[in-house]
Structure 1
Amino acid sequence: MTRIKIITSFGKYSDAELEQKAELIVDSMTGNANFTNPMPLIADLKAATTAFDTAIIKAKEGGKTEHLNREIKRHELIAMLEKLALYVQIEADGIDAVLASSGFTLSKQRQPVGILPKPQNFAVHAENVGTIKLSLKTIQGAKSYQYEYRKKGEKAWEVIVFTKATLLLTELESGQQYEFRVAAIGTVLQRIYSDVLSSYAL
């Protein structure tokens, strides 16, 4: 089972977003019984947030020195948030309710895709001499598609794995009737095949 985590990167935040996020974390962590010994101290994080806010205001009407100071205060605040995020991650031990109580943002967990459904709109078209086009509706969660074909009356299938929902078969025997089927390939080994379609190669 994948452990729930929090987002520990703050580089993409704008100055205003970073300040707001830091304030939320300060408010959420203050007196939070889930985190009794935070490192760094919440008081220090609050002070760094206030210093960053002050630097933002001064940089709006200031010169190069004020802009440089704002960047310094920004980096100091981010460094503190990153350290606190590590502490929160360890203390919460993957419990999402505890992580959420910290004010940090939970990372989105990828949900496992189960058995993929039967392919829909599977179609077979004889394009040119010795060429047949196979197509189906794209299936969400499919990493690739397992196309299979054989001459009519034979038992063994020829298998082609392809990443797209359209496949062009070439060098087929002209005048020969073929059978075709397809299944989506996902995270589960089990395959659900389409109906078997048949067509003569031109």
Structure 2
Amino acid sequence: MAKVKLKLQDKSDSELLTFSQQHIAAMTGNSNFTTPAPTVIAFQALHDEFEAALDAAALAAETSKQKTSTKDVKRSALERGLTDRGSYVDMTSGGIEAKILSSNLPVRDAAAPIGPMPAPIDFLATMGDMEGEMDLTWSRVRGAKSYIIQHSENVSPRVWSQKAVSPKSSATITGCTPGAICVFRVAAIGAAGQGPWSDESVKMAP
């Protein structure tokens, strides 16, 4: 779904004024946005007041800090007005890019999809507080929706079985045989499916 991208703080005063004027022209008679917020009159007033303050500041830049301060206040007000207009356009356009662009407001870049998950790192199994309980921790994987945890006895080759699925980068495993050497591994699951397994972590169950 398309969204408005303003980045007003990156614009100079003159660029902001031009941007605002182009937006006003684009919104005039625009059938996509018939009830703008702020209203046509209110937004035009914000634009005109900033333009007047900008002109005054330019004329008195050397002698009048007050006018420059007033200009900054009016700029902030215009930025708020543009931000409100962006919110209005977002809600009214239904996320249709062509409608947003018809208001002369730019559209945010689409989020880049996250590819295959890497293997979790810093995977560590430690004894839990209760008999047969193991605490597992690892570093969070960006983009992971959940993590799958497998267990094997300390045999070769390993015989893996699923022990848990966790939405966060930690889990507590119960029901381990006290005194048994337990082997664990974890993999991240994202939009592209399951990633590779982590390094094994081996620990005796309490």
TM over 0.5: yes
Structure 2 contact 119–187 (Cα < 8 Å) conserved: no
Once the two structures are superposed, the pairs formed by residues 73-88 of structure 1 within 5 Å of their partners are: 73-88=74-89
CA distance in structure 1 between the partners assigned to 2:187 and 2:55 by the alignment: 60
Contact 1:177/1:198, CA 8 A, preserved across alignment: no
Query: Tell me, what secondary structure is at the counterpart of 2:30?
Result: coil
Match for residue 40 of structure 1? Answer: 40
Name the residue aligned to 2:186. 182
Residue deviations 1:38-88, cap 9 Å, x none?
532575465244224214424632334223322332234234324433443
What is the identity, as a one-letter code, of the residue corresponding to 2:152?
A: R
Task: Name the SS of the counterpart of 2:188 in structure 1.
Answer: strand
1:53 partner SS = helix
Task: Give the aligned partner of residue 97 of structure 1.
Answer: 98
- Alpha-carbon RMSD across the aligned residues, in angstroms, is 5.1
Report how far residue 196 of structure 1 moved.
Answer: 9.1
For the Cα contact (< 8 Å) 1:146–1:182, is it kept in 2? yes
- Mapping 1:1-202, distance limit 5 Å: 3-7=1-5, 10=8, 13=9, 17=12, 19-30=14-25, 35-36=30-31, 37=34, 39-41=39-41, 44=45, 46-58=47-59, 60-110=61-111, 113=114, 116-117=116-117, 119-120=118-119, 139-142=141-144, 145-152=147-154, 156-159=161-164, 161=166, 178-186=182-190, 191=194, 194=197
Would the alpha carbon gap of residues 19 and 46 (structure 1) be closer, same or farther in structure 2, given more than 3 Å must change?
A: same
User: What is the CA distance between 1:104 and its match in structure 2?
Assistant: 2.3
How far has the Cα of 1:152 moved from its partner?
A: 4.0
SS of 1:104's equivalent?
coil
What is the percent sequence identity of the aligned residues?
Answer: 21
Q: How far apart, in 2, do the equivalents of 1:96 and 1:69 lie?
A: 36
Alignment gaps of 5+ in structure 1: 127-133
User: For the Cα contact (< 8 Å) 1:34–1:92, is it kept in 2?
Assistant: no
Does the C-alpha gap of structure 1 residues 23 and 122 become closer, same or farther in structure 2, counting only changes over 3 Å?
closer
The CA deviation at 1:197 is 5.9
Cα shift readout 1:88-134 (whole Å, capped 9, x = no counterpart): 334433211221342324345546657x44x55989999xxxxxxx9
SS at match of 1:106: coil
Structure 2, gaps ≥5 residues long: 126-135, 172-176
CA distance in 2, matches of 1:58, 1:125: 67
TM-score, structure 2 normalization: 0.55
Once residues 34 and 107 of structure 1 are traced to their aligned partners in structure 2, the CA distance between those partners, rounded to angstroms, is: 24
Cα shift at 1:151: 1.5
Matched residue of 1:88: which SS?
A: helix
* Cα pair distance change 1:55/1:92, threshold 3 Å: farther
Alpha-carbon contact 2:181-2:202 (below 8 Å) kept: yes
Residue identity in the other structure for 1:6: V
Helix, strand or coil for the counterpart of 1:182?
A: strand
| Cα offset, 1:20, TM superposition | 1.2
